[in-house]
Amino acid sequence: MSSAREFGWEPLVGDYVLEHDGYLAGSDDHRLADLNRFSSDESIDAIWCIRGGYGALRLLHGIDYDAWRRRPKTLIGYSDITALHSAIGPRADLVTFHGPTARGTLTDFSRASFRAALIEREQSCGIAPDGVTLRGGRARGRLVGGNLALLASLCGTPYAPRYDGAILVVEDVNEAVYRLDRMFTQLRHAGALDRLAGIAFGRFTDIPVDEGYEARPLDSLLAEIAAEVGVPCLANIPLGHIADQWTVPLGAVAELDADTKTLNVLP
């Protein structure tokens, strides 16, 4: 809550926030009750997720999308919150924000991007400090994406993002390279990668060592994808399960310049 108050916001915590049900943060009904109560409350301006939220995928059929359309709100979060971004944004014609969770401590880097995106409504991305050009060129399109595992899970459902002409931003954590390969292959078979204008790969962190397979470098996999899709591709942008991360407005139009290693959100 201290992060919210830092920006002059008064936090209101859900009734069921401390519940748990095994690996879930409470029952689906209770989590939906909190989410739908907040989305229909005229006095609430934003919903800032406390953590990544495994199980968000289970809620999509019960979300009150009419409430989001009647009273658009800011949605902030990442990781499994990708499911909410993908479902709510297009249905409410709303830009949502892939950014830090409310429980975390913001670094100077993350705070500056967060403030630019949410308060100043200015450029929140820009030059990727450690960016790597995989395929040069410039692309313009809507920003879509988030966590790769969630995007793969959304394939074939009504909640999958619209990839046509979009710039994909994507990250993941705790996934072996062969599993990342599998998930990207699923997106490719679903036709998602064929329709993109560009890709900005984020960080794929805490990759476990799988001693049962000969290791394949992540760089090799990403380079292969870049060659296959044939669009501008930039790797290693500050997006993912990392301390220094951009707040990325999903649904907004941006320009990716893989040669200058920049991702600029357009006004």
Contact call for residues 249 and 143 (beta carbons, < 8 A): yes
Quick check: is 241 catalytic? yes
Quick check: is 2 catalytic? no
Contact call for residues 78 and 72 (beta carbons, < 8 A): no
Quick check: is 42 catalytic? no
147 beta partners: 171
Contact call for residues 193 and 184 (beta carbons, < 8 A): yes
Question: How far is the C-alpha of 37 from the C-alpha of 101, rounded, in Å?
Answer: 20
Residue 243 CB partners (closer than 8 Å, separation 6+): 107, 109, 110
Task: Write down the catalytic residue from 39, 86, 113, 171.
Answer: 171
Q: By three-state DSSP, how is residue 182 classified? A: helix
H or E stretch covering 143: strand 138-147
96 token code pair: 């949502």
Task: Write down the catalytic residue from 79, 110, 113, 153.
Answer: 79
Task: Write down the catalytic residue from 86, 124, 175, 241.
Answer: 241
Contact call for residues 154 and 86 (beta carbons, < 8 A): yes
Which residues are known catalytic residues? 79, 171, 241
